[in-house]
Amino acid sequence: MASAPSLAAVVARYAEEAAFLWTQRTLAVHAPHYNLLTLDRLDARVEAHLDGLRLTADAGWECCRYLLDQAEPGALFAATATALASRDPARWKHCTERVEMTPEVRDEFASALAWMPFESVQAHLPALARAASPALRRAAIAGWALHRQDPGEALSLALRDPEPGVRARALRAMGELGRRDLLDLGGEAAGSRDDSCQYWSAWASALLVGDEGAVSHLRTFAEASGSHRLRAAALAARRMDPGLAAPWREQLAAHPDGIGAALAAAAACGDPSAVPWLIECMSRFDVARPAGEAFTQITGVDLEDLQMVGSKPEEFEAGPTEDPDDENVEMDPDADLPWPDMGKIRAWWDRSSSIFIAGTRYLVGRPIRTAALKEALRTARQRQRGAAAIELAMRDPGSRLFEVRAPGFRQRRALGT
């Protein structure tokens, strides 16, 4: 008979699984195949392993420390959540010192701040906001913003911070929290040459007031290469009249590398007049799957449910291969999207297009109205939920942006599900 695992082995497994599941979750909150139900199931697993670490007290903390020393991804998330639960100042200091020494792990630290109940983190945030380390100051603003709690004067100070990374996170928080009163200060904060500051300033202004200058700035980001391109294209298209968004989409698609931004703009605009173009894009294996996702975002058609999924083209190859001489080590960004069956989708559109009105904006098959957006927050996929949250914030200027990345159990409470 096999012997039962030792307590040390069980606790080590709690720490390893909590760290590993955090890495899965960072992908899941943006993944096209996750919804609130499946995210909540994943979050229940994360919480179960964190609970095991809390219940085993010192042993749980030591296992987290070991993973930290091994620089395991997710280790700081598990360690910080455990330290906060224990209310041990030495453990908390150990985590903050790790952020100071290794600033690139600040997102794990901020994720732990966002995961734990606000009551257990709020007392720490003012001191973090005054820390010498820019990574800790940035994490403090993220901690407030991810809980959708207003930092008060700390946000104004962060908008004047000498470090661009802190200012960029503060500008984003300004938009997330609906702080329209800070727009002038936000404009000053973006006055540097830092792309992230300029982007988040434009994003916040476009979200909060639909400022034409901000939308124009977003269009500039969408028309250039960069990490903000797709998000900029989406928000700019949402703030544009559908009649003007269509020629801009065509302009984006004409750029050698602009098809992704054009698809993002089409999906965000939600005008069904773009559907024939989206179907044509499905003939290109490099963008077929994002085109299918954009089609779903407008029409609400689930390609898998309606058996409109095709086969992967034989000539398509993405991500790491078994060839040791292949220098492409990037994962396929569309791996979780189905391959659309262009013929079946075209036939469906020929039968069903009359139920859609050109020039009206749709999200998952319904005209964009408050009730439909709230329903999408409860039932749609993560990317579509993010779109619904943006649309709701735009309809209620100064409101707080719903956080679709929050722990599932917290989101369910907020949505009454």
Q: How many CB atoms lie within 10 A of CB 287?
A: 19
User: Two tokens at 398?
Assistant: 């100064």
Closest CA to 15 of 111, 100, 80: 80
Residue 8: strand, helix, or coil: helix
Give me the residue spans of the domains in the chain.
169-268
pLDDT at 239: 97
SS (H, E, C) 235-293: HHHHCCCHHHHHHHHHHHHHCCCCHHHHHHHHHHHCCHHHHHHHHHHCCCCCCHHHHHH
Q: Over the stretch 376-386, which tens digit does the pLDDT of each residue have? A: 999 999 999 99
252-266 confidence digits (pLDDT tens): 999 989 999 999 999
Instruction: Output the pLDDT for position 322.
Output: 55
Of all residues in the chain, the percent with pLDDT exceeding 90 is 88
Q: What is the pLDDT of residue 1?
A: 46
What is the spatial distance between Cα 170 and Cα 159, in angstroms, rounded to a whole number?
A: 6
Residue 306's SS3 state is coil
Nearest Cα residue to 368 out of 351, 346, 393: 393
Which segments of the chain have a pLDDT < 70? 1-4, 192, 319-329
> 40: exposed, middle or buried (C-beta count within 10 Å: 0-12, 13-18, 19+)?
middle
H or E stretch at 339: none
